Amino acid sequence: MDVLVVDHPLAKDRLSTMRDARTDSAAFRAALHELTVMLIYEATREAPVRAERIHTPVARTQGYRLANPPLLVPVLRAGLGMADQAHKLIPDAQMGFVGLARDEETLQPTPYLESLPESLASRPVFVLDPMLATGGSMVYTIQLLAERGATDVTAICALAAPEGLKRLEESGLPVRVVTASVDERLNDSGFIVPGLGDAGDRQYGPR
């Protein structure tokens, strides 16, 4: 499985703001917005483009547009904090939604929302979720996408745990990962260490 770690100094800076327990909700959301821009920028580096003729004020030249904009799929709640920024960078993208809440005891994802196009064959998909911990939520989401024919999925995460990456790889699902960090491990409660805490709670308050 292809894992791209975006370890640019500016990505490290925003991630450090998110990790810091003193960062309040507004500053956390702002840092996630800015980090999302960097992650999407790197995730689209190899994206195919189509050429079009354009006129500058001075001359005719070749312009380029994304040939096949991805479907953006934020995983609620925490992934909502990435959706607007991703959409600003790729304004032609369509958006689907998945809502999952991880059970604190079993660590299993409980689905509560699914709003996705019927067919995803030959469409790239970007799943937006800041946290890849056990990988249960991401595997669940990509299974939904694969059932609709998706074969080209990118998981865009602020943080990933080695356990989640392993689970994703072992799932055999068609996915690559773009993340700002692969952290050390999960703790006994399934939280990423050192991590940043609960990404949903830190943006929106406790559930």
Ligand X SMILES: O=P(O)(O)OC[C@H]1O[C@H](OP(=O)(O)OP(=O)(O)O)[C@H](O)[C@@H]1O
Ligand Y SMILES: O=c1cc[nH]c(=O)[nH]1
- Number of Cβ atoms within 10 Å of the Cβ of 162: 14
Packing angle between helix 162-171 and helix 136-147, nearest 10 degrees? 30
Q: Are 76 and 100 in contact (CB under 8 A)?
A: yes
101 part of the interface to ligand X, by CB under 6 A: yes
The interface region with Mg ion, picked from 23-31, 40-48, 164-172, 193-201 by CB under 5 A, is: 193-201
* Among 11, 15, 18, 75, contact with ligand X (rule: CB under 6 A): 75
77 part of the interface to ligand X, by CB under 6 A: yes
* Among 11, 28, 40, 129, contact with ligand X (rule: CB under 6 A): 129
Q: Which residues contact 46 (CB under 8 A, 6 or more apart)?
A: none
CA distance 86 to 41: 9
Minimum CB separation of residue 104 from ligand X in Å reads 9
133 part of the interface to ligand X, by CB under 6 A: yes
CA distance 159 to 131: 5
Residues 54-83 that bind ligand Y (CB under 6 A): 78
Pattern 104-143, binding to ligand Y, x per CB under 6 A? Answer: ---------------------------x-x----------
Residues 88-127 that bind Mg ion (CB under 5 A): none
83 part of the interface to ligand X, by CB under 6 A: no
Distance of CA 63 to the CA centre of its chain: 28
CA distance 118 to 171: 23
CA distance 22 to 18: 9
- Number of Cβ atoms within 10 Å of the Cβ of 130: 29
* Among 43, 71, 116, 192, contact with ligand Y (rule: CB under 6 A): 192
Footprint of ligand X (CB under 6 A): 75, 77-78, 100-102, 107, 109, 129-138, 164, 190, 198-201
Summarize as ranges the residues that interact with ligand Y (CB under 6 A): 78, 131, 133, 190-192, 195, 198-200
Binding residues: 77, 102, 129-137, 192, 197-199
